[in-house]
Amino acid sequence: MKNTLIAAAVAALLASCASAPQRNDRLDQARTEVQTLSADPLAQQAAAKDLESARSRLQEADTALAQNKPASEVDHLAYLAQRHAETGEARVREAQARQEVARSEEQRNSVLLEARSHEADAANAKLIATQAALAALQAKQTDRGMVVTLGDVLFDTAQSTLRPGADLTLDRLATYMKSNQQARVVIEGHTDSRGSDEYNDALSERRADAVATALIRRGVSADSVKAVGRGKAYPVATNDTPEGRQQNRRVEIVFSDASGRFVQSDLNQPMRR
């Protein structure tokens, strides 16, 4: 009886040892790697094949261990499972890096788009302001470009000194020029036909120079202003009536385009006063 009890106890102990789960350190490491990969949200998208292979090798390693296969076989299968998992994790990191680059590029494009929008708004606002300034000066589009005409009332008869009444127009001109740094102007003095050519040439040049000097004193760059005396050579009305002669006594301001070029080729000379 005693021997029977001892035999039963030994059998139970052996059965208990047989049913206890076996452990393998490499297999445990592989299982941890596979679980880490499986938990990553990008695993199925970026490393689906690697994850599938890792799971398959891990299952084969578990089976080999349960069937008491040689430890070398279990270790090999666990090694393969771990390598597939590590490869999958590397692919996931690459995908994360690409996503980060894409997000950065998207943010950069958004910033550039916003900056261009601000630039366009600023350019549009400047254009509107420029058009408004030219409208206030009663500028007219001609075959020579945009032209502002200052009448004879800005000067005393046969004089080249500007009257105080010219200040508002000159202030507007100076404001426009300082707001459009690339713009240039040619200031042309004109007279009626009374008097000699020499007299009219000199008077027209002095009047043009007076306007140019007034603009420079208001902060306009001297490099963007040129004064020219045209004398009586370019009338816009008849010189046979007082009204016509008054129209011919004038100062014309010819504007360049936004890049500083004039429509009339002979005006595109260095601005030397």
Tell me how far apart the alpha carbons of residues 245 and 150 are, in angstroms, rounded to a whole number: 14
Rounded to two decimals, what is the model's pTM? 0.56
- The DSSP secondary-structure symbol of 193 reads S
CA neighbor of 188 nearest in space, from 118, 134, 110, 266: 266
Tell me how far apart the alpha carbons of residues 147 and 186 are, in angstroms, rounded to a whole number: 10
Average pLDDT for the chain: 87
Q: How confident is the model at residue 16 (pLDDT cuts 50, 70, 90)?
A: very low
Q: Would the pLDDT of 230 be above 70? A: yes
Residue for token pair 């004193």: 217
What pLDDT, in 10s, does the model give residues 148-200? 998 877 888 788 899 888 898 899 999 999 988 888 999 999 999 999 999 99
Q: Which residue has the higher pLDDT, 185 or 269?
A: 185
What pLDDT, in 10s, does the model give residues 199-221? 999 999 999 999 999 999 999 99
CA–CA distances in Å: residue 117 to residues 103, 111, 121, 141: 21, 10, 6, 30
Dihedral Cα 32, 34, 38, 40, nearest 10 deg = 70
Cα R_g (the chain), whole angstroms: 46
